[in-house]
């Protein structure tokens, strides 16, 4: 084809649950989260992320209305198409892209499946589903599978089969015209880290718009106020919009006509990155470590977090670029229509663990980006300790950390 991410702890989630790995949400069924350590590298520190992902579940909760209407429309399509197809062909393909350990995905999928079923007439009318859980190939497949296997009863009760796909979502994932609904939560701000010149590491992106790396020690996140505007613009035009456009074109090819996708990504501003009074906490911590002689400046120079905080305008721009993105001499992105696109204010908060829970989530997301610059273990521990100190200085655990999410629903037009 040419194209230009044990033990289990069962928890009934009908009550407000406490401590690690459990969601503060009310659902009617028993779902299970894994709480043990498994080894394996990933784009994030997956075990820790699994413990604290609930702290950013707002991204799922605050977009449920969008998921609900997508499920209503899917139910209508199932009814319309049901009579015309033989029964064995009626298993609908749903997909969750960037599932991490699968915990948050399953809670949201439970909501989606209940919405879908409540819009169908009888138990005989429930569509049979297969759900694909997709994750980055460098992530922890065993951890994801462990969560899913722990929820065998939920899958069986709802007549759902499942599979895991360890592949980057910046590649083709499914057969053309095969997917009935696709969702992705808190993933698509991560850029395509394969978009590099031969032999280059991700720190090459610091040279975009700054060939001499004169300001490479001023930032680690491109959306920080201290990242030069020309470098930000180079990232927007050369990386961020093109990568999202490529994703959209690939998925447009794979959706069935009339099928929808719900994409929720981290938006701008997010106070993990864009603190009102200047440099983000990670850059600030690394600078302090350098001043104290605990970190070599070359580590800050090389550290880059390969994500881009998105805006509604950036999504609209990517939809336009996707229209012209060629795959096998076709432009499948031209068949996409943006039917909803919103910026949503949220808060990252941990009512049980306070600042420790907020910080542990932050660290799980970012530690591998620092490790990619090859600090020593002692240097890494210094950065972690300094970052934790800065969290106490700049955030209030009672208020939480303000964040933004951009959520959009896109549909592939009927032919
Ligand atoms: C913040 S987590 C979100 C996990 C989950 N969807 C949730 O809502 O809690 C982001 C996930 O995106 C995955 N990811 C990042 N880039 C990816 C890519 N190119 N392909 C597939 N997954 C990717 C990461 O491995 C990580 O598991």
Instruction: Tell me what pLDDT residue 100 has.
Output: 96
Kindly report, residue by residue over 6-15, the tens digit of the pLDDT: 222 232 222 2
- Which atom belonging to ligand 1 lies closest to the Cα atom of 184? 6
**pLDDT of 37 higher than 50:** no
**pLDDT of 167 higher than 60:** yes
Specify the range with the lowest mean pLDDT, choosing from 41-50, 263-272, 352-361.
41-50
- Residue 98 near residue 59, CB atoms below 8 Å: no
Q: CB burial class (10 A; 0-12, 13-18, 19+) of residue 118? A: exposed
Q: What is the mean pLDDT of residues 294-316?
A: 97
Residue nearest to atom 3 of ligand 1 (CA): 186
10 Å Cβ neighbour count for 331?
15
| CA proximity to 243, closest of 176, 182, 194 | 194
pLDDT band at 252 (very low <50, low <70, confident <90, very high): very high
Q: What is the mean pLDDT of residues 66-92?
A: 81
Phi, psi of 212 (to 5 degrees): -90, 5
200, 322, 403 from 54: Cα distances, Å: 35, 32, 14
pTM for this predicted structure: 0.90
User: Which of the listed residues 139, 187, 369 should we mutate to test ligand 1's pocket, taking the one with most ligand atoms within 8 A of CB?
Assistant: 187
User: Which of the listed residues 54, 98, 195, 367 should we mutate to test ligand 1's pocket, taking the one with most ligand atoms within 8 A of CB?
Assistant: 98
Which domains are assigned to the chain? 8-412 (3.40.50.150)
pLDDT band at 163 (very low <50, low <70, confident <90, very high): very high
Instruction: Tell me what pLDDT residue 20 has.
Output: 30
Ligand 1: residues whose CB is within 6 Å? 5, 42-44, 53, 98-100, 104-105, 135-136, 139, 168-170, 185-187, 190
Residue nearest to atom 27 of ligand 1 (CA): 100
77, 178, 179 from 89: Cα distances, Å: 14, 11, 13
Separation between Cα atoms, residue 164 and residue 132, nearest integer Å: 6
Separation between Cα atoms, residue 314 and residue 223, nearest integer Å: 13
**pLDDT of 394 higher than 70:** yes
**pLDDT of 53 higher than 70:** yes
Instruction: Tell me what pLDDT residue 80 has.
Output: 83
């Amino acid at each position: 084809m040419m194209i230009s991410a044990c033990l289990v702890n069962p928890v009934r989630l009908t009550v407000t649950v406490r401590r690690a790995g459990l969601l503060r949400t009310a659902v009617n069924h028993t779902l299970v989260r894994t709480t043990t350590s498994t080894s394996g590298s990933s784009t994030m520190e997956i075990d820790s992320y699994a413990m604290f992902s609930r702290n950013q579940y707002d991204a799922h909760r605050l977009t449920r209305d969008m998921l609900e209407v997508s499920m209503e429309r899917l139910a209508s399509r199932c009814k319309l198409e049901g009579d015309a197809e033989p029964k064995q062909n009626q298993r609908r393909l749903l997909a969750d892209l960037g599932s991490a350990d699968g915990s948050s995905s399953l809670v949201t999928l439970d909501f989606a499946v209940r919405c879908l079923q409540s819009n169908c007439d009888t138990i005989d009318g429930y569509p049979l589903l297969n759900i694909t859980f997709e994750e980055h190939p460098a992530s922890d497949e065993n951890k994801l599978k462990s969560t899913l296997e722990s929820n065998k009863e939920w899958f069986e009760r709802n007549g759902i089969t499942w599979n895991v796909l360890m592949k980057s979502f910046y590649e083709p994932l499914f057969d053309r015209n095969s997917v009935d609904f696709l969702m992705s939560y808190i993933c698509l701000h991560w850029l395509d880290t394969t978009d590099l010149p031969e032999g280059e590491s991700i720190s090459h992106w610091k040279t975009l718009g700054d060939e001499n790396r004169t300001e490479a020690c001023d930032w680690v996140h491109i959306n920080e106020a201290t990242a030069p505007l020309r470098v930000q613009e180079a990232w927007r035009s050369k990386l961020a919009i093109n990568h999202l456009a490529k994703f959209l074109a690939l998925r447009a090819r794979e959706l069935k006509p009339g099928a929808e996708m719900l994409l929720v990504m981290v938006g701008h501003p997010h106070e993990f990155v864009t603190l009102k009074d200047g440099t983000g906490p990670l850059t600030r911590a690394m600078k302090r470590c350098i001043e104290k002689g605990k970190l070599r400046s070359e580590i800050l120079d090389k550290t880059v977090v390969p994500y881009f905080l998105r805006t509604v305008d950036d999504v609209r721009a990517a939809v336009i670029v996707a229209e012209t993105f060629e795959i096998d001499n076709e432009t499948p992105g031209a068949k996409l229509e943006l039917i909803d696109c919103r910026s949503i204010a949220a808060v990252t908060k941990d009512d049980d663990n306070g600042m420790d829970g907020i910080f542990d989530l932050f660290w799980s997301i970012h530690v591998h980006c620092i490790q990619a610059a090859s600090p020593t273990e002692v240097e890494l521990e210094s950065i972690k300790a300094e970052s934790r100190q800065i969290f106490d200085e700049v955030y209030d655990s009672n208020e939480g950390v303000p964040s933004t999410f951009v959520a959009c629903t896109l549909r592939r037009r009927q032919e």
